[in-house]
Amino acid sequence: MTWKKTYDQWLAFNNIDNLVKEDLERNKNNEEALMDAFYAPLEFGTAGMRGVIGAGINRMNIYTIRQATEGLARFIDSLDDSMKQRGVAIAFDSRHQSPEFALGAAETLAAHGITSYVFESLRSTPELSFTVRHFNCVAGIMITASHNPKEYNGFKVYGDDGAQMPPHDADLVTKFVRSIDNPLEIKVTPQYEAEDLIHIVGEEVDTVYLEHLKTVTVNQEVIDRTKDSLKIVYTPLHGTGQMVAERAMEQAGFKHFITVPEQKLPDADFSTVISPNPEEASAFEYAIALGEKENADVLLATDPDADRLGAVAKNQAGDYQILSGNQLGSIMIHYLLQEKAKQGTLAANSTVVKSIVSSELSAEICKKYQVEMRNVLTGFKFIAEQIKNFEEDNSRTFVFGFEESYGYLVKPFVRDKDAIQALLLLSEITAFYKEKNQTLFDALEEIYAEFGFFDEKTISVTMPGITGVEKIQQLMKDVRESIPTAFADVAVAYHEDYASQKRHFVSGEVEDISLPPSNVLKFFLEDGSWIAIRPSGTEPKVKFYLGVKGNSHEETQEKINKFEEAVQGFIKE
């Protein structure tokens, strides 16, 4: 069916949703916009789907939400009855139409006789993960577009362990989703007819989640000793974080935890920020202003669904400066291992898990404490998969998991990134260094002095529109057909192709990689640097990751600049 026929089908549909109808009317004379909205279905992958809100099969709306949920329902129907009876947990963030999408998902499940546990109001992604485990659900749904701009929303699917659904099950759900020809015709059972199937939940889950958050604290005494002088400024960036963060910090004993008033309440338009992304310094504009007024020791921010945490602290010049995700991960790992070793609670089989594109500084820290560092593919579900394996065979003890994109997990009662856990731990670390009259940047300098100077950078190239996906696929194909032998005149020692699961040396020798297949290339250079290329799983982007090591900040910065210039030239070619 052509995009015009699909458009006409939506235009002629009786009882079309009012918001969808308004969008159809708004774009009726904009053929380019209509073609983009109707040319192909919104991509549904292993992490679910994410897209611009609007009318069309390539947009987020109540009908594409129902289609995604119908695919999940058919997957659950294919399981045995005992699994089906366990139900599905559903949460949503502060974005436009999130409550409507959550209820739409529940009503679609109800048409299949599947129970759902829907939060009464917005909750975070980590709490959704916790809720799946709390109710022993067969699956979970999170309505969120994470840190994307206000025009976006999304649908994330979770498995019965509270982690994002593993590839095998996600592939089955995807097949069911793609087998649905017309999302307009999906049957739903309205909430008023499904009171025995759609259960509204709230405070009772919050209370249990908060109890588990108490276990994140490593050294309560350091918090107690600094509580009168330590000042923390926090912003939820108009998202879900404030729902639990203030209560979690109060119960942990932090006395001066100040939330940015202009960004405290949910706001689907994220009206005070260009982008609600704690990876970007601009997201801290209001926090920095308040931090300077209060002379705060650290400024913390969570993204709209509170699975990512960013931080700003005073550097050696006394200015507030953002810390990278890799730096934060290394600081947290160093503190955790150091404190656990002091307390005698560091198990002999302790393991830290990180993604293949995250800093190698953390690996150096782990070596000191004889802790295994395990690398996995990008995507927190792969970290969660390791935790599940550890529990099943009692082979390892999980200590910490992180990704360079500001995602961290301290305790495995959640199986996804948990910014509230990270908020608690990083606040405790700030207290630890405050007692020594130091900042988080001082902590970082101590780590560099002991383990070497590391630096990293990510370059994102957006390729939007109908041809974007094709361009990204062609780029990866071109690189594989003409493997670079050097970057910035530094020779490639070997490269890893995670799609073929092979490691290729310049000598011609080939080794197997014991990780699942993924469309990622990683080049290891003779000076110890590395460069990885990976298409984003949720956005029309291809990402280039750079990692270097040197003897000083100046040396690592010089290397980063050289490799960035080489990559930019590589992209243009």
The residues annotated with a catalytic role in the active site are 146
Straight-line distance from the first to the last Cα atom of the chain, in angstroms, rounded to the nearest whole number:
36
Let me know: does 52 contact 82? Beta carbons within 8 Å: no
CA 365/CA 440 separation, integer angstroms = 17
Q: Which residues of 268-305 are buried (b: 16+ CB within 10 A; e: fewer)?
A: bebebbebbbbbeeebbbbbbebbeeeebbbbbbbbbb
Sheet-wide strand order for 139-143: 49-52, 152-158, 139-143, 88-92, 116-119, 198-201
Using the structure block, give the residue that is written with the tokens 């917005």: 122
187, 188, 195 from 192: Cα distances, Å: 15, 12, 6
> What is the DSSP annotation of 499-567?
TTTEEEETTS-EEE--S---S-EEEEETTS-EEEEEE-SSSSEEEEEEEEEESSHHHHHHHHHHHHHHH
Let me know: does 384 contact 164? Beta carbons within 8 Å: yes
Report which DSSP code applies to 50: E
CA 25/CA 126 separation, integer angstroms = 38
Let me know: does 566 contact 560? Beta carbons within 8 Å: no
Gyration radius of the chain over CA positions: 24
CA angle 393, 395, 396 (to 5 degrees): 130
Number of neighbours of residue 319 by Cβ within 10 angstroms: 12
CA 104/CA 191 separation, integer angstroms = 9
Q: Helices 18-26 & 3-11, crossing angle to 10 degrees?
A: 130
CA angle 45, 56, 25 (to 5 degrees): 160
CA 334/CA 405 separation, integer angstroms = 18
Supply 361's token pair: 């500084």
Nearest to 63 by CA among 53, 78, 73: 53
